[in-house]
């Protein structure tokens, strides 16, 4: 078997060194009844590369790749063009097959990347400091709420009706088991909810998403001040990280914590994972942050280097008293994010964000021209909500038959509700002919 280097001669020689007759004898502590006598039944035997490729290739062929047809799906995962350099760099063995950088002398590559990543995330979000990433935006959001509870010593979180339902549900799952209240406001497609009215002196935090799951953009500066006056924290969630290249960042609005999804940079859609959670806070909260942190220091020769730091907050030290039970960050996904952002730089990120917005405006106008179709948003970045005269679920199925991935029905995220609404996302990967094809097909389906 190609991955197993021991030969029979090796095994015999090694068994002799351990003074054991057979490999089976090494398993003598396993109760007889639980020891299988041979390879497990019900599973195939080993396969060479050719067979594996054939098998998995056949499975892959049953999926419709988003890039092979006009695609306008968002709702928390966005199809952006990832430069070729990114995938080559992340597959360098020294990045791909390295462990967590607990031995800093032989991990300066990983550590410097994390330090740069933390800086990039701080700059993008307008916050003071960021961690080395979380599993995804939704778990980052839940951890932000848990942190706010810890900091304020309160137990009531208010979740905006513009928060992505997966993020809301991840948070409410934690609320149930960890023991706090998460008040989820009703879905707010038009962005008119009154959050200020929900904040009192028992509120630990208010969680808003900007742009919201419906694409609405708001300035939360006033809410930030109100929260501060009441001793609560403002948590801003961002699911489309590219929006940070154009919109006023949460840090400038006065956010205490930013919990975001970084998938848009460097990471393919991958049917939902692995993604990369971004977590950034104000300086005063740094010791309350969950997750890994990389810090700068000097080595014994007086040269600058990097190490994981403030680890005493983490589970392997504090055990029951840890700030969270999280062990891993998103490592390679954070590296991919970082490389992509390095390639874009200041000029590129601004230009790419503007390009996305302009294309979204272009498509919104084309769709609004289709009879019966209304754009719900007063403003948006690269994703907006469309109101249809028919079931959005049925429309999307019909579009799929015409080989167009025409957005996400809102009812997919809110079962049994708002089936007349459709979330449509546009990125730099959509051409004008894609958009025309969409508008034409939509008109057909609705007529």
Partner 1 sequence: MSMNSQGRPSAIPTAAIPAAGVADAVTGTFTGNRGLQIEEPLIFEQDAAGRCGVDLPDAPKVASRLGGVKPRAKVGLPGLAEPQVVRHYTRLSQKNYAIDSGLYPLGSCTMKHNPRLNEKMARLPGFADVHPLQPVSTVQGALELMDSLAHWLKTLTGMAAVTLAPAAGAHGEMCGIMAIRSAHEAKGDTARTKILVPESAHGTNPATAAACGYAVESIPATADGRVDLDALKAKLGPDVAGLMLTNPNTCGLFERDIIAIGEAVHAAGAYFYCDGANFNAIVGRVRPADLGVDAMHINLHKTFSTPHGGGGPGSGPVVFSEALAPYVPVPYVTHGASGFDLVENAGDGPAFGRMKAFHGQMGMFTRALSYMLSHGADGLWQASGDAVLNANYVMARLEDVMTASFEGPCMHECLFDDRFLKGTGVTTLDIAKALIDEGFHPMTMYFPLVVHGALLIEPTETESKASLDQFIDALRALAERAKGGDVAYFQGAPRLTPRRRLDETAAARKPILRWTPPVGAEALAAE
Partner 2 sequence: MTVKYTKDHEWVRVEGDVGAIGISNFAQSQLGDVVFVELPEAGRVLEQGKEAAVVESVKAASDVYSPVSGTVIEANQALVDDPSLANNAPETDGWFFKVTLSDPSQLDALMDEAAYAAFVEESH
**Contact stretch for partner 1 (CB under 8 A) within 150-158, 173-181, 222-230, 436-444:** 173-181
Question: How would you classify the pairing of strands 233-238 and 257-261?
Answer: parallel
Instruction: Tell me which of partner 2, partner 1, none is bound by residue 264, counting a contact when its beta carbon lies within the kind-specific cut-off of 5 to 8 angstroms.
Output: none
Q: Which is nearer to partner 1, 62 or 197 (CB)?
A: 62
Among 355, 418, 443, 446, binds partner 1 (CB under 8 A): 355
Interface residue with partner 2, options 9, 28, 321, 416 (CB under 8 A): 321
Only one of the segments 210-218, 247-255, 314-322, 396-404 lies at the binding site for partner 2 (rule: CB under 8 A); that segment is 314-322
Position among 21, 183, 229, 317 found at the interface with partner 1 (CB under 8 A):
317
Q: How far is the CB of 366 from partner 1 (least distance, A)?
A: 11
Interaction partner, residue 249 (partner 1, partner 2, none; CB < 5-8 Å by kind): partner 1
Binding flag, residue 327, partner 2 (CB under 8 A):
no
Query: What is the smallest separation between the CB atom of 180 and partner 2, expressed in angstroms?
Result: 22
Binding residue for partner 2, selected from 81, 92, 202, 287, defined by CB under 8 A: 287
Q: What mask, x for binding partner 1 by CB under 8 A, covers residues 91 to 130?
A: xxxxxxxxxxx-xxxxxxxx-xxxxx-xxx-xxx-x--xx
In the list 27, 190, 372, 444, the residue contacting partner 1 (rule: CB under 8 A) is 27
Chain positions 269 to 308 lying near partner 1, rule: CB under 8 A, are 269-276, 286, 292-303, 305-307
Q: Where are the alpha helices (DSSP H) in 369-418?
A: 392-401, 410-413
**409, β-bridge pairs:** 422
Q: How far apart are CA 283 and CA 126, in angstroms?
A: 12
42 in contact with partner 1 (CB under 8 A): yes
What's the CA gap between 383 and 367, in Å, rounded? 13
28 CB contacts (<8 Å, ≥6 apart)?
none
**Bridge partners, 71 (sequence order):** 405
3-class secondary structure, 143: helix
Task: Give CA angle at 239 (243, 259), nearest 5°.
Answer: 105
Any contact of residue 418 with partner 1 (CB under 8 A)? no
Closest CA to 402 of 366, 447, 446, 445: 445
Among 259, 339, 424, 442, binds partner 1 (CB under 8 A): 339
Closest to partner 1 by CB, 420 vs 428, is 428
- 111 contacts: CB under 8 Å, gap ≥ 6: 101, 104, 294, 305, 306, 307, 308
| 279 touches, from partner 2, partner 1, none (C-beta below 5 to 8 Å by class) | none
Query: Which one of 157, 326, 386, 421 is in contact with partner 1 (CB under 8 A)?
Result: 326
Count residues binding partner 2 (CB under 8 A). Answer: 6
User: CA 325 to CA 277: how far, in whole Å?
Assistant: 16
Contact indicator for 266, 339 with CB cutoff of 8 Å? yes
Report whether 224 contacts 258 (CB < 8 A).
no
Q: How large is the C-alpha radius of gyration of the chain?
A: 25
Q: Cα 294 to chain center, whole Å?
A: 20
Cβ–Cβ < 8 Å for 282, 127 = yes
* Residues forming the site for partner 2 (CB under 8 A): 287, 311-312, 317-318, 321
């Amino acid at each position: 078997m190609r991955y197993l280097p021991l030969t029979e001669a090796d095994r015999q020689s090694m068994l002799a060194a351990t003074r054991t007759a057979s490999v089976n004898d090494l398993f003598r502590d396993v109760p007889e009844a639980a020891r299988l006598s041979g390879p497990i039944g019900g599973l195939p035997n080993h396969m060479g590369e050719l067979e594996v490729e054939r098998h998995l290739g056949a499975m892959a062929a049953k999926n419709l790749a988003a890039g092979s047809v006009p695609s306008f799906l968002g709702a928390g995962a966005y199809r952006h063009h990832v430069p070729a350099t990114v995938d080559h760099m992340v597959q360098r063995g020294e990045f791909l097959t390295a462990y967590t950088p607990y031995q800093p002398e032989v991990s300066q590559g990983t550590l410097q990347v994390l330090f740069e990543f933390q800086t990039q995330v701080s700059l993008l979000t307008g916050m003071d400091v960021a961690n080395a990433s979380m599993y995804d935006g939704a778990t980052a959001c839940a951890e932000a709420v848990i942190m706010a509870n810890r900091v304020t010593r309160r137990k009531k979180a208010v979740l905006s009706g513009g928060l992505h339902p997966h993020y809301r549900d991840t948070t409410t799952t934690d609320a149930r088991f960890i023991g706090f209240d998460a008040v989820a406001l009703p879905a707010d497609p038009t962005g008119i909810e009154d959050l200020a009215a929900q904040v009192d002196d028992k509120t630990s935090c208010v969680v808003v998403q900007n742009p919201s799951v419906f694409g609405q953009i708001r300035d939360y500066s006033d809410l930030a001040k109100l929260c501060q006056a009441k001793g609560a924290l403002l948590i801003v969630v961002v699911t489309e990280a590219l929006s940070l290249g154009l919109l006023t960042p949460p840090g400038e609005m006065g956010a205490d914590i930013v919990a975001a999804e970084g998938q848009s940079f460097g990471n393919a859609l991958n049917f939902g994972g692995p993604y990369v959670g971004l977590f950034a806070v104000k300086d005063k909260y740094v010791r309350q942050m969950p997750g890994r942190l990389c810090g700068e220091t000097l080595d014994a020769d007086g040269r600058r280097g990097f190490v994981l730091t403030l680890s005493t907050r983490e589970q392997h030290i504090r055990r029951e008293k840890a700030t969270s039970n999280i062990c891993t960050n998103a490592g390679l996904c954070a590296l991919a994010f970082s490389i992509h952002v390095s390639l874009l730089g200041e000029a590129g990120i601004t230009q790419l964000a503007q390009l996305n917005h302009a294309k979204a405006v272009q498509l919104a106008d084309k769709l609004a021209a289709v009879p019966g179709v209304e754009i719900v948003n007063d403003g948006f970045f690269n994703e907006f909500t469309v109101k249809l005269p028919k079931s959005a679920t049925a429309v999307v199925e019909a579009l799929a038959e015409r080989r167009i991935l025409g957005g996400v029905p809102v009812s997919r995220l809110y079962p049994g509700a708002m089936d007349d609404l459709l979330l449509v996302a546009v990125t730099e990967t959509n051409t004008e002919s894609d958009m025309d094809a969409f508008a034409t097909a939509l008109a057909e389906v609705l007529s």
